[in-house]
């Protein structure tokens, strides 16, 4: 894996992970948007990625990994515009890229497809929540988010920093797995060779800047408009959800399936939120056509 940086107009630098540095010239480009918390350091299944012969690129959203933080919120459209800028940089004129997003990253993939359709080939959305007002999923999390509605962005961000900073500081070791997976439901996946090591590396990179990435990211998709209409996504979308995912179950995929013009839903039995690992080979088959 190699990392390079892209300069943005507001002075930020975005870290971009080249997860297949040995991909042949002209290989199809797949852009992967990570979970929250997350980092572009994570390849869900390196063997499947190599077999697919793709160039897999994955940017860190602001405040995660090697990407500069934002002072306010990482809104979905901001993250999508960063991802689109990466594609503008790596794609030959007139080419398109396949877009994949795991969990929170699925919104970013869809936003790129809606806002920059000329860049978007096929899309894979893996375990991505629907809007909470459509399919409630915040649960106890709502007790932190709801009081922030109506606050100024600086005040909301200060409150989020105050919540996520100590949480990140006190969540260490493999306890971090619970931030992106269900350690019980996904136990077999975590025991598979290499999975836990790759997840540890991703979370270590994701939380390198403390809670800044999570505070901006979570605030951006809970307190601000997402900046795109699902009806504007003209790409062919594959939706994947784990039947045993207690946080983001198949009902979210059913909502997206109705909201998107062209989408197909697949449900993986016995799998939780870490479904991106067993599903990745199939996702690549869809993405590469």
Q: Which domains does the chain have, with CATH numbers?
A: 2-287 (3.40.50.1820)
* Encoded tokens for 19: 């997860």
pLDDT number for residue 93? 94
Split at pLDDT 50, 70, 90, the class of 131 is very high
CB 270 within 8 A of CB 263: no
> Percent of the chain at pLDDT above 90?
96
- Using DSSP's 3-state secondary structure scheme, residue 48 falls into helix
pLDDT number for residue 151? 96
Mean pLDDT of the chain: 96
Predicted TM-score (pTM) of the model is 0.97
CB neighbour list of residue 242: distance below 8 Å, 6 or more residues apart: 127, 185, 249, 250, 267, 268, 270, 271, 272, 273, 274, 275
pLDDT number for residue 140? 79
Tokens 């909301």 identify what position?
156
pLDDT number for residue 277? 98
pLDDT at residue 142 is higher than 90 = no
Mean pLDDT on 92-97: 96
pLDDT at residue 103 is higher than 90 = yes
Split at pLDDT 50, 70, 90, the class of 287 is very high
């Amino acid at each position: 894996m190699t990392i390079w940086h892209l300069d943005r107009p507001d002075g930020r630098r975005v870290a971009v992970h080249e997860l297949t540095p040995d991909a042949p010239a002209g290989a199809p480009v797949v852009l992967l948007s990570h979970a929250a918390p997350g980092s572009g350091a994570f390849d869900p299944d390196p063997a499947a990625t190599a077999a697919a012969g793709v160039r897999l690129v994955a940017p860190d959203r602001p405040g995660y990994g090697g990407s500069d933080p934002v002072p306010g919120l990482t809104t979905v459209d901001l993250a999508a515009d960063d991802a689109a800028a990466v594609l503008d940089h790596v794609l030959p004129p007139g080419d398109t890229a396949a877009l994949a997003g795991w969990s929170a990253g699925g919104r970013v993939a869809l936003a790129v497809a809606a806002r920059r359709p000329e860049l978007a080939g096929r899309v894979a959305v893996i375990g991505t929540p629907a809007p909470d007002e459509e399919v409630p999923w915040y649960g106890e999390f709502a007790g932190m988010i709801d009081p922030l509605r109506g606050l100024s962005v600086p005040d909301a961000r200060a409150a989020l920093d105050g919540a996520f900073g100590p949480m990140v500081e006190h969540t260490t070791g493999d306890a971090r797995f619970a931030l992106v997976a269900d350690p019980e439901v996904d136990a077999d996946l975590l025991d598979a060779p290499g999975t836990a090591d790759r997840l540890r590396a991703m979370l270590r990179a994701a939380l390198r800047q403390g809670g800044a990435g999570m505070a901006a990211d979570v605030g951006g998709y809970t307190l601000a408009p997402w900046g795109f209409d699902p009806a504007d996504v003209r790409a062919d979308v594959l939706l994947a959800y784990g039947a045993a995912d207690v946080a983001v179950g198949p009902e979210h995929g059913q909502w997206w399936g109705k909201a998107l013009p062209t989408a197909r839903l697949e449900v993986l039995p016995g799998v939780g939120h870490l479904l991106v690992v067993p599903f990745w080979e199939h996702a690549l088959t869809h993405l590469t056509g």
